[in-house]
Amino acid sequence: MPVPAPNLYPPFNIIRLSHVELAVTDLAKSRAFYTDTLGMQLTAVTGDKVYMRAREERGHHSIVLHQQSQACANFLGFKVYDEENLDKAAHFFNSRGLPVDWVDRPQQSRTFRTRDLHGIPLEFYCQMERLPPIHQQSGLHKSVKPFRIDHFNCISPDVDASIAFYKELGFRVTEYAEDEETGSLCAAWTHRKGGVHDMAFTNGHGPRLHHTALRFSTPSNIIDLLDLMSSTGWSSNVERGPGHHDTSNAFFLYIRDPDGHRIEIYCSDNQTVDPAFEPIKRGLMDPQCQTLWGTSASKSWFEEGAIFAGSSVQAPSLSAQPIVAP
């Protein structure tokens, strides 16, 4: 299936990804990891939830940790342009026969939850409590000082169907890899905010959350984080990297939090804001599709991910085996 043409006039306007809620089994341990190791800023603690933002973010939260008995990804959050677009978004999901449940969310204006075609739980809103800027208050920042949340990568049982659905929402494909035998998509990267991706999809048992990415300023932040993790007992939580992606052209490191949620440390990707930007095709069996340096990822990186709350995992419709590190 060819990559769909961009939908430049979607039925409602999503500005960007906004936040993620992760279920964790030891809230105190996870809170310490995200603040002391990753350098997220604590904004609120309310009962069984911890709210955090990154250095550049003015919104109240981009990562929410929720104490639960089992680790999973509760939902992915997106910000729309205004109240009118929020109502248009609710109408869109209703018209597709997908649930629209209006919920009360602390520090957010009217908010509804829904699911995509494969069951990924999504949350939409247009206003969040604004906090004072802290990006120049160096005394507040610990560790490696993430700038902002950058993207989500999800494992999909049918990447073609996922891309067709998110194209309706106005997400534009920037890069992709396809199976040469069938022409089906094995992976695709899509965006709203002008980077390489807000949402990416890779083929596999899904839907599951593969990773949440935090944006950092330079590759030196990756070195700083590795030094910190090696001296504070977290070396075994480094899964992949450091490396240089061919896709996106970004530098990266993948780590796991105390419950195994995968976090990407990410910087220096391509700009794609021009609507004339043409998607770049990558070869699934080209070692440089995984990294510019030609190093392959481990089996765990391809096969493991966080279950989404309330979603059933399906086997992929495409059988495609990328290059796996020995």
Q: Which residue has the tokens 């409602």?
A: 12
14-132 homologous superfamily: 2,3-Dihydroxybiphenyl 1,2-Dioxygenase, domain 1 (3.10.180.10)
- pLDDT value at residue 170: 97
Instruction: Look at 78-82, 117-121, 168-172, 320-324 and tell me which has the smallest mean pLDDT.
Output: 320-324
Residues 6+ apart with CB under 8 A from 175: 188, 189, 196, 247, 248, 279, 280, 281, 282
Contact 275, 8 (CB under 8 A): yes
Position 70 scores a pLDDT of 97
- Return the pLDDT at 14: 98
Instruction: Kindly indicate the confidence band of residue 73, based on its pLDDT and cuts at 50, 70 and 90.
Output: very high
Q: Is the pLDDT of residue 10 over 70?
A: yes
- Whether residue 297 has pLDDT greater than 80: no
Q: Indicate the domain borders of the chain.
A: 14-132, 148-307
Q: What is the pLDDT of residues 169-187, one digit of tens each?
A: 999 999 999 888 888 999 9
* pLDDT value for 168: 97
What is the residue-wise DSSP string for 116-178?
A: -TT--EEEEES-B-B----TT-GGG--TT---EEEEEEEEES-HHHHHHHHHHTT-EEEEEEE
* Region 21-26 average pLDDT: 98
Scored b (16 or more CB within 10 A) or e, 233-267 reads: ebeebbbbbbbbbbbbebbbbbbbbbbebbbbbbb
pTM of the model: 0.94
Architecture of domain 148-307: Roll (3.10)
Instruction: Give me the mean pLDDT over the 261-273 stretch.
Output: 87
The 10s digit of each residue's pLDDT in 273-282 is 888 888 988 8
pLDDT band with cut points at 50, 70 and 90 for residue 287: low
pLDDT score at 290: 61
Please, which pLDDT band fits residue 256 given cuts at 50, 70 and 90?
A: very high
Handedness of CA 209, 215, 187, 125 (dihedral sign): positive
CA 155 vs. chain centroid, Å, equals 11
Mean of per-residue pLDDT scores for the chain: 91
Instruction: Please give the Cα distance from 51 to 240 (Å, whole number).
Output: 27
**CA quadruple 105, 165, 193, 282: dihedral, nearest 10:** 140
How much is the pLDDT for 286? Answer: 63
Quickly count: other Cβ atoms within 10 Å of residue 84's Cβ.
12
Whole-number pLDDT of residue 138? 74
Are the folds of 14-132 and 148-307 the same? yes
Pairing of strands 199-203, 148-156: parallel
